[in-house]
Amino acid sequence: NAGVMQNPRHLVRRRGQEARLRCSPMKGHSHVYWYRQLPEEGLKFMVYLQKENIIDESGMPKERFSAEFPKEGPSILRIQQVVRGDSAAYFCASSPQGQNTEAFFGQGTRLTVV
């Protein structure tokens, strides 16, 4: 049973480009969470999704960021028109139900904006 898979592991984008981060949850998990880790900081919650639904996006920046979890395929975190301040590690977690007591984390995508 593979764990939470995130790709790419490393992503370099120039300012103004788009970044697409993918997350495939563990088998049997239908709940996905995205977190951002800025340098020297802990992880900050961004968004919680179930299949085809955004449940809570209270941690998402108001502009340029969006997330989806389609019926088929991985969850996608999209950042449009990236800026240097978007450089961070983005982690995805998944759980079988909407409870973080059973959440498993992926290895993260490290985004560098140049």
Stretch that binds other proteins, among 20-28, 64-72, 80-88, 100-108 (CB under 8 A): 100-108
Helix and strand counts by DSSP (H, E) for the chain: 0, 11
Restricted to residues 13-32, the positions that interact with other proteins (CB under 8 A) are: 31
Paired residues of 112 in beta bridges: 12
By CB under 8 A, residue 36 contacts other proteins: no
Q: What share of the chain is helix, strand, coil (3-state, %, to 5)?
A: 5, 50, 45
* Binding positions for other proteins, rule: CB under 8 A: 4, 6, 31, 33, 35, 40-45, 48, 55-56, 59, 91, 98-101, 103-108, 110
